[in-house]
Amino acid sequence: MIQETQLRERCREALELTKKHGADDVEIYAEASTAISTEIEKQDLQMSSSRQETMIGIRAIVDHRIGFASTNALEDLEATCTDAVKLAKASPSNEHNVLPEPRPVEALSELFDPQAEAFSVSDAVRHAIQIIELAEKKDPRLVLGNGEFSVDMTGRCLVTSRGIDLFERNSLFLYNALATAKDGDVVSNMAFGFDAVHSVDAIDIQAIVDKACDDALGSLGATSGESFAGPVLLAPQAVQAVLAGFLSFQLNGKNVLRGSSRWGKMLGNAVAHPSLTVVDDGRLSGGAMSGAFDREGAPRQRFVLIDKGEAQGLMHNTFTAHAMGTTSTGHASGSARALPGIGPSNFMILPGDQSKADLVAGMKQGLLVNRFAGSSNPISGDFSGVAKAAYLIKDGKIDRPVTGTLIAGNAFEMVKTLSGISSETERVFTAILPYIRLEGVSVTAE
Amino acid sequence: MQELLARIAAQSSGWIELRYQGRSTKQIAVRNGELEESSSKRIQGIGIRALVDGVFGFASTTDLTEGGILKAIEAAQGAARTSASAKKHRIEDLATASFGVGSFPVPTQDPLDAHPLEEKLALVLRIDNLIRSGSASIVSSTTSYGEIQDEKYIVTTDGAKAHLFTSIPEFRVMAVAEKDGNQCFGNLSNAVTGGWSDLFADRSPEEMVDYAVAMAVEQLSAPHPAGGTATVILDPGLVGVLSHEAIGHTVEADIVLGGAITAEKMNEKVASELITMIDSPHTEYSPFATGILPVDDEGVEGRKTTLIENGILRSYLHNRETAAHFGVEPTGNARAFEYSDAPIIRMRNTYIEPGKASLEEMIGGVKDGYYMCGLGFGGQADSNAEFMFGVREARRIVDGKIGELVRGATISGNAFDVLMSVDAVGDDFKWDLGAGSCGKGQAAKVDAGGPHLRCKATIGGRQ
């Protein structure tokens, strides 16, 4: 059990020590974690492990100069406090180096499942065996190359000289399966299933095994595709690789300040097709990244980034908000090992009104792409790479699996001209994403 | 600490491996003259592996008391025991090895801690300003300094008892030039195992700036290359990337067992007879390589390992488990990045042995081709040795002379096909992986390099 009282006391102690050594303002962020995991390799159990660590990160401000020091060696906490002050005193000053004032934070109740406390290595092993057995039962042609079942229990505590004093407990069960199908000499693409849930009762092994195995089996027997410029239907995992990083980069306050975001100056203007609405919800029920407060103690919220194609909001932490004359949006991200960055929590592209089947039916010649392995440059918007587990679509029907097919395009243009968003969504790591049909994508068969 | 670990190991039942790691890191980053980060980190803990009933279990703890360590050993043994009943394939044995015993200090006359933070910060700020004053076309600069210092104790119940130190400083510069809304960047990084002055022994920070600025500005007006197969001369940086990324991973025994292209090729010809490739725990030919590893994280003494000898595949890279599986001696390639990571098979310093040709002769023999230097933006390689790397600097070679710069070049192909096509190996040598880390679920500091090579490869231009 992670002791709240103990962790708070260590944080308050570190706060006083850092002030004693000369800091004007201090932020102490601590994470105490225990983790249990069992790995799977080639359809067999691999190593099981358990880990525990308490990490404390100290941000000291002296005359608007910042120093950051972190440690897990708590018996030597004072040395880390003096390091932070020393680093601050040696640094140049910046008027935007400030700590946030306390704001009301409403606790989230469903982040921690008390049943997780009793979870042991044997429970992790039992779930890992279930992943293997479900895959084996499904089809003899399947090979479960890799997988893992783990539980992380974390208590995080934030105490600042401005009066923020917060604690939150979290349990997260993470499990994944990576499957390939083999039929004689024919080998499918790798396919991936993943989920992250906060409670024991929400664990659904069958769903991720089905996802990985069905995708692997479906792509068996893929042959060379066709070259054309036209519609490409990206499945949620491909949407994540091609578009999610681009969208959150463009609406990140830090990138706007650096001048590397084109959308920074376009708030209130159309940047995408009117069917596209993008939301980051830091309090999403069941969301893997949900929490009551961000890395700096600002309240997490449901925040609209793009509303019906219009750029609506930029994600800020305290630094970028101060520099741009606004308040933090609760997007300070990162661990106790580093200074706060900026990032989304539960990133969502809201569902559209057409089913996946309708989107397929609307393509005369097109490509369905389940995964994407390549690069997507968030500054230029250019993306290019290999379409994995891809299917050729002919006359509104899935024709056959194809291999060795490259797709390329530009995200700035294609989010404007997209022609459909599915009503179905799937969780991809921490994002919740639909199928999206892009137009005019360059498709090249090798 | 070492005596405590040795005593605990002596009293333990069954095989265990105890690894204490204390790490201190510093990071300074400046962008356009503004300090983005000045931070330090100190972590310490013990990672424990236990082998019970032919199954490994792992536990890590930050509780360094005897009681805390014993509790973690129980956790590791419990984890192993719990999964043993359901595991299909047990480890029959761990290969015996020559174990590391004694102390292994960092060979430097100029330790990092002898230089105050203010000196390092002042250098980063000065160099960042220098980048922006390097040319009127420069619109953005980034400069960073980082250092990792490790102390480790590795003790196993079968004989390892080593005390190791590492010190790796690194320095990076990047310049972005702009013309008519079109941006190009130039970058360079240095990293060494050693001290402060060792970091700049090969090139000074000012030389790094000159290179990055010139590269950013020159590319603004450079044409894209024509795609297709071409004769190319690879510099030691790209030879290193090819050796590590496209070949090296395919000879890591765990990847081999997972179905890499090398699985059926032992003792077969996989490269030109001019090629001899090594993975070494030492820093041959030139000092300061960042993958020096006298003793690995299983306590095994590092051995210089010949992967390819005159074109013939001769060895994989092993830990004790895979060495036993293949019936060979461990090569000392088991590595863990932090105390809370379990050791897995990783490379160290991977290189191609120098040959006999001078660079002038090699260039002189090319009628129409490219001279390619360093890893640029992006890259990937698969366990079938197919690779695609962005190139940092690519120049035409026409009638035996180096000519104009081209931008956005990529090089791709199958790494073994590329090595098979080698017709000249340079007489020079350089470690040149820069400040990068290798990623395989966890990070590792590695180095790579070699001489110049002349070969055939596929050149890609603009997508």
What residue numbers bound the domain in which B51 lies? 2-220
Do A29 and A57 touch, CB atoms closer than 8 A? yes
Query: Given A203, A218, A233, which residue is the final one in a domain?
Result: A218
Tracing tokens 């360590």 back to the chain, one arrives at B69
Of residues A41, A47, A120, nearest to B57 (C-beta): A47
pLDDT at B107: 79
Specify whether A43 is located in the same domain as A56. Answer: yes
What was the pLDDT predicted at B170? 97
Mind telling me how many Å the CA of B351 is from chain A's nearest CA?
27
Each residue of B148-188: pLDDT tens digit? 999 999 999 999 999 999 999 999 999 999 888 778 889 99
Q: Say if residue A174 is in the same domain as residue A228.
A: no
Flag whether pLDDT at A406 surpasses 50. yes
pLDDT of residue A2: 64
Cβ separation B39–A55 shorter than 8 A:
no
Q: Give yes or no: residues A200 and A243 share one domain.
A: no
Same domain, B106 and B210: yes
Please give the average per-residue pLDDT across A89-95, as a whole number. Answer: 94
* CATH code of the domain covering residue B11: 3.30.2290.10
Q: Give the minimum alpha-carbon distance from B82 to chain A in angstroms, rounded to a whole number.
A: 6
Q: Find the Cα–Cα–Cα–Cα dihedral A189, A190, A196, A199, rounded to 10°.
A: 100
* Closest residue to B342, CB basis, from A47, A86, A259: A47
* B141 and B173, same domain (yes or no): yes
**% of chain B residues with pLDDT over 70:** 99
CB contact under 8 A, B39 and A258: no
Task: Give the residue from A116, A59, A130 showing the smallest Cα distance to A295.
Answer: A59
pLDDT in tens, B378-392: 677 777 788 888 899
**B68-78 pLDDT, tens digit each:** 999 999 999 99
Closest Cα in chain A, distance from residue B7 (Å):
23
CA-CA distance, A278 to B90, in Å (whole number)? 49
Average pLDDT, rounded, for chain B: 94
Tokens standing for A214? 């069905």
Among A246-255, B2-11, B175-184, B396-405, the minimum mean pLDDT is found in: B175-184
Q: Do A72 and B78 count as a contact with CB atoms less than 8 A apart?
A: no
In B134-233, alpha helices (H): 196-199, 205-220
Q: Which of A183, A218, A253 is the last residue of a domain?
A: A218
Distance from CA of A126 to the nearest CA of B (A): 9
Indicate whether A129 and A212 sit together in one domain. yes
Which of the pair, B431 or B261, is modelled with greater confidence?
Answer: B431
B339, B315: one domain: yes
Q: How many CB pairs under 8 A join A and B?
A: 132
CB burial string A210-231: b at 16+ within 10 A, e below: bbbbbbbbbbbebeebeebebb
Query: How near does any CA of chain B get to the CA of A158, in Å?
Result: 18
User: In 3D, which of B297, B299, B61, B60 has the Cα closest to residue A49?
Assistant: B60
Clarify whether residues B193 and B247 are in a common domain: no
- Burial class of residue B400 in the structure, from the number of CB atoms within 10 Å of its CB (0-12 exposed, 13-18 middle, 19+ buried): middle
Which amino acid belongs to residue B348?
R
B37, B76, B342 ranked by CB distance to A339: nearest: B37
pLDDT digits (tens, 9 = 90+) for A27-38: 999 999 999 999
Which of these three, B198, B220, B242, is where a domain ends?
B220
Is B232 in the same domain as B85?
A: no
Q: Which residues of A touch B83 (CB under 8 A)?
A: 38, 45, 47-48, 121, 125
In this structure, the answer to whether residues A243 and A206 fall within a common structural domain is no
Q: Which of B117, B342, B380 sits opposite A49 (nearest CB)?
A: B342
Closest-CA distance of chain B to residue A353, Å: 34
Chain B interface mutation, best of A47, A74, A257, highest count of B Cβ atoms under 10 Å: A47
The whole-angstrom separation of Cα A105 and Cα A249 is: 27
Residue A322 shares a structural domain with residue A408 = yes
Give the count of beta carbons closer than 10 Å to the beta carbon of residue A341. Answer: 15
Give the pLDDT score at B462: 52
The confidence score (pLDDT) of residue A408 equals 87
The pLDDT of residue A95: 96
> E strands within B235-348?
277-280, 305-309, 312-313, 334-335, 344-345
CA separation for the pair A242, A387 (Å, rounded): 11
**A286 contact partners, CB below 8 Å, separation of at least 6:** A110, A197, A198, A202
Count the domains in chain B: 2
What's the pLDDT score for residue A186?
81
The mean pLDDT value of chain A amounts to: 94
Distances (CA, A) of B76 to A6, A50, B16, B27, B67: 26, 7, 9, 33, 14
For residues B285 and B187, membership in a common domain is answered with no
Cβ A48–B57 below 8 Å, yes or no?
A: yes
Rg of chain B (C-alpha set): 23
Q: Which residues of B touch A77 (CB under 8 A)?
A: none
- A251 and A187 share one domain: no
Give φ, ψ of A213 to 5 degrees.
Answer: -70, -45
Specify the pLDDT at position B369. Answer: 96
Regarding whether A177 and A242 lie in a shared domain, the answer is no
Residues B401 and B435 in one domain: yes
Contact across the interface for A67 and B38, Cβ inside 8 Å: yes
Q: Note whether A91 contacts B35, CB cutoff 8 Å.
A: yes
Which residue from A minimizes the CA distance to B49? A49
Question: What does the alpha-carbon distance between residue A354 and residue B97 come to, in Å, rounded to a whole number?
Answer: 63
Q: Choose the closest CB to B87 out of A44, A80, A338.
A: A44
* Model confidence band, residue B461 (pLDDT cutoffs 50, 70, 90): low
pTM comes to: 0.93
Neighbouring C-alpha atoms within 13 Å toward the C-beta of A307: 9
- B100 C-beta neighbours (distance < 10 Å), count: 25
pLDDT of A256 = 93
Based on the domain organization, do B173 and B190 belong to the same domain?
Answer: yes
Q: Which of B37, B38, B49 should we substitute to test contact with A (largest number of A Cβ atoms within 10 Å)?
A: B38
Question: Which residue does chain B place closest to A54, by CA atoms?
Answer: B62
Average pLDDT over residues B47-70: 96
| CB contact (8 A) between residue A375 and residue B378 | yes
Helix (H) or strand (E) holding B84: helix B66-84
Q: Say whether both B368 and B421 belong to one domain.
A: yes
Structure tokens at B244: 């590590």
Tell me: do A203 and A227 sit in the same domain.
no
> B203 and B238 in one domain?
no
CA B310 to chain centre: 23
Residue A138 reports pLDDT greater than 80: yes
Give pLDDT, residue B175. 94
The interface predicted TM-score of the complex, written ipTM, equals 0.91
**Subunit contact B35:A44, Cβ cutoff 8 A:** no
CATH assignment at residue A178: 3.30.2290.10
Which chain A residues are within 8 Å of B41, Cβ to Cβ?
Answer: 69-71, 337
Q: Which residues in chain B are contacts of A384 at CB distance < 8 A?
A: 463
Q: Give B-chain residues touching A52 at CB under 8 angstroms.
A: 60-62
Residues B245 and B208 in one domain: no
Tell me, yes or no, whether A260 and A173 share the same domain.
no
Interface test with chain A among B16, B62, B69, by most A beta carbons within 10 Å: B62
Q: Of B220, B243, B259, which marks where a domain is finished?
A: B220
pLDDT at residue A39 is higher than 60: yes
CA dist., res. B291 & res. B361, Å (int)? 31
Q: Which amino acid would we find at residue B453? A: L
Residues in chain A within 8 Å Cβ distance of B57: 47-49, 121
Quick check: B83 and A48 CB within 8 A?
yes
- Give the closest of B44, B55, B117 to A72, CB-based: B44
Mean pLDDT of A122-146: 93
Handedness of CA B40, B432, B445, B188 (dihedral sign): positive
Total tally of structural domains belonging to chain A: 2
Within 8 A of B39 by CB-CB distance, chain A residues are: 67-70, 87, 338-339
Which residues in chain B have Cβ-Cβ distances shorter than 8 Å to A91? 35, 38, 121
Distance from CA of B423 to the nearest CA of A (A): 29
Of A163, A194, A218, at which residue does a domain stop? A218
Per the structure block, which two tokens stand in for B353?
A: 């042995």
Chain B nearest-CA residue for A121: B79
Residues of chain A neighbouring B60 (CB-CB closer than 8 A): 49-53
Chain B environment of A2 (Cβ under 8 Å): none
pLDDT of residue B385: 84
Query: Does A87 score more than 80 pLDDT?
Result: yes
Mean pLDDT for A163-174 is: 97
Residues 6+ apart with CB under 8 A from B95: B318, B320, B321, B323, B324, B328, B329, B330
**Identity at A125, one-letter amino acid code:** V
What's the pLDDT score for residue A174? Answer: 97
Calpha distance A66→A63 (Å, rounded): 8
Task: Note whether A169 and A255 are same-domain residues.
Answer: no
Could you tell me if B152 and B290 lie in one domain?
no
Q: Do A40 and A63 share a structural domain?
A: yes
* Contact call for B41 and A69, based on CB within 8 A: yes
State which residues form the domain around A416. 223-446
